[in-house]
């Protein structure tokens, strides 16, 4: 999709989001703003409770054409704590905590992610893993660490090159091919009972997007009808 068409689609999605906020009684009172950039919803504002934010994410994710929902929303006046793992020279927001193996302008913490994430259990609200998984021969340990450090209701945001696009094979440091279906197995409990709930898993012409919530405290995994929205 060329840039002009992408911009038109984004403006249409913004109108759809505004209509949703105006007419859905569960969202009408929320003090939030939504803009779209290449199909990704960027949300800012304030909500009173985490349940309000969870409902907003879920309803926005149901709009046709939305690839991901990224929010910087204050819950009861508190800003989220957000981490960019493997950030390189670019963080998704300047206030995020950047973690990488090598120093750089966006890096706040030096760490070898192959040895774990140097954060406490349930200490962050969102984790970005942007163009990282395709570089790892075994990405499951890193995802287990993301599950550990995210608070209940927190979100893991993943971007990776879609396996059928040239970007997936053009970089010789890519050692794994990623598809939407790659994330299906994460939505069933592993041997330790860890499981992810898919808020949104989709792709465009070049990139796979996944917004995943760690399940804890006996919460049931997603049912077959919900999983059928994303997976074969």
Residues 194-206: tens digit of each pLDDT? 999 999 999 999 9
Residue 147 is encoded by which pair of tokens? 């599950």
| Interval 3-14 mean pLDDT | 97
Q: Look at residue 40 and tell me whether its pLDDT is greater than 90.
A: yes
113-168 tens-digit pLDDT = 999 999 999 999 999 999 999 999 999 999 999 999 999 999 999 999 999 999 99
Could you give the strand order of the β-sheet that contains 40-47, starting from the edge strand earlier in sequence?
A: 31-37, 40-47, 68-75
Residue 11 is encoded by which pair of tokens? 């403006």
Q: Look at residue 22 and tell me whether its pLDDT is greater than 90.
A: yes
Q: How confident is the model at residue 217 (pLDDT cuts 50, 70, 90)?
A: confident
Task: Give the residue among 228, 183, 231 at the shortest CA–CA distance from 209.
Answer: 183
pLDDT of residue 184: 97
Q: Is 9 helix (H, G, I), strand (E, B) or coil?
A: helix
| Interval 216-232 mean pLDDT | 94
Contact of 161 with 134, CB cutoff 8 Å = yes
User: What is the Cα–Cα distance from 175 to 201, expressed in whole angstroms?
Assistant: 21
User: What is the Cα–Cα distance from 133 to 140, expressed in whole angstroms?
Assistant: 9
41-54 tens-digit pLDDT = 999 999 999 999 99
User: What class, spelled out in words, does domain 1-78 have in CATH?
Assistant: alpha beta
Measured at the alpha carbon of residue 167, what is the angle toward residues 163 and 171, in degrees to the nearest 5? 105
β-bridge partners, 85? 99, 129
Measured at the alpha carbon of residue 153, what is the angle toward residues 147 and 158, in degrees to the nearest 5? 55
pLDDT of residue 160: 98
Domain boundaries, the chain: 1-78, 80-232
Contact of 85 with 127, CB cutoff 8 Å = yes
pTM for the predicted model, two decimal places: 0.96
Measured at the alpha carbon of residue 203, what is the angle toward residues 38 and 229, in degrees to the nearest 5? 120
C-alpha pair distances (Å), 13 with each of 26, 36, 64, 229 = 19, 7, 8, 19
* Average pLDDT of the chain, as a whole number: 97
> Can you identify the CATH homologous superfamily of domain 80-232?
Vaccinia Virus protein VP39 (3.40.50.150)
72-127 tens-digit pLDDT = 999 999 999 999 999 999 999 999 999 999 999 999 999 999 999 999 999 999 99
């Amino acid at each position: 999709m060329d840039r002009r068409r992408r911009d038109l689609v984004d403006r249409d999605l913004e109108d759809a989001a505004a209509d949703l906020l105006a007419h859905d009684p569960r969202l009408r009172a929320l003090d939030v703003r939504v803009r779209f950039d290449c199909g990704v919803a960027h949300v800012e504002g304030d909500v009173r409770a985490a349940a309000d934010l969870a409902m907003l994410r879920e309803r926005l994710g149901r709009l046709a054409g939305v690839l991901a929902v990224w929010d910087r929303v204050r819950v009861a006046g508190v800003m989220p704590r957000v981490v960019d793992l493997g950030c390189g020279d670019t963080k998704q927001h300047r206030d995020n905590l950047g973690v990488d193996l090598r120093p750089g302008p966006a890096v706040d913490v030096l760490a070898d992610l192959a040895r774990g994430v140097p954060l406490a259990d349930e200490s962050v609200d969102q984790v970005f893993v942007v163009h990282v998984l395709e570089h790892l021969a075994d990405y499951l340990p890193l995802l287990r660490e993301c599950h550990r450090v995210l608070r209940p209701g927190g979100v893991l945001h993943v971007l990776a090159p879609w396996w059928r696009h040239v970007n997936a094979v053009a970089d010789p440091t890519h050692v794994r091919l990623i598809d939407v279906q790659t994330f299906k197995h994460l939505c069933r409990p592993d041997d330790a009972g860890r499981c992810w709930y898919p808020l949104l898993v989709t792709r465009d012409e070049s990139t796979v997007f996944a917004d995943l919530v760690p399940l804890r405290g006996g919460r049931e995994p997603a049912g077959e009808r919900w999983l059928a929205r994303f997976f074969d």
